[in-house]
Amino acid sequence: MASGRPGAAQREPDGRVLVTGPGTKVLIRRVRAVCLGLPGATERASHGTPTFFVRDRSAFVYAWLDGHHDNHFAHLWCAADPGVQEALIRSGPDRYFRPPYVGHRGWVGVRLDTRIDWDEVEQLCEDAYRTVAPRKLVAELDAGRGDRPD
């Protein structure tokens, strides 16, 4: 359902941002499955785009599937630990970038307009989650996967 304001985000019946560009419905389904499969993860619109939060408080992934500002391609912004952004950009400058607004805090942008390695996207989203989630939720994630906490 569309809002009457120009530039306002359109909503799906459940309130999530309606993503409409070519191919973006498949992208958002996959990103949602990854992000919402993490303990305590929620989704709501932030800045007009689907954004994934830990317990409705701390964002860990923004999904800019119709592009954003000068980046006219589908991409994610993912929270990252110190040094990760630089290492990823150095290893794949055609795939990774420093996003505006949050890049100075170490977040990393990942392009989704080329062949997508979904295992890699899943790992980036999980790492982003681990960056902002409280230890208790990270332990719950590890226990659910049979992993040992670090």
User: Percent of the chain scored above 70 by pLDDT?
Assistant: 77
- pTM here is 0.80
User: Where do we find the tokens 């332990």?
Assistant: 139
Q: CATH code at 66?
A: 3.90.1150.30
Classify residue 113 as exposed, middle or buried by CB count within 10 Å of its CB (0-12, 13-18, 19+).
middle
72 pLDDT higher than 70? no
Cα separation, 89 vs 136, whole angstroms:
31
In a domain, 3, yes or no: no
Number of domains in the chain: 1
In a domain, 15, yes or no: no
Asked if residue 45 lies in contact with residue 51, where contact means CB atoms within 8 angstroms, the answer is: yes
In a domain, 149, yes or no: no
Per-residue confidence band for 40, with pLDDT thresholds at 50, 70 and 90: very high
Q: What's the confidence (pLDDT) of residue 19? A: 55
In a domain, 4, yes or no: no
Instruction: Write down the mean pLDDT value for the chain.
Output: 83
Q: What's the confidence (pLDDT) of residue 115? A: 85
- Model confidence over 75-94: pLDDT tens digits? 999 999 999 999 999 999 99
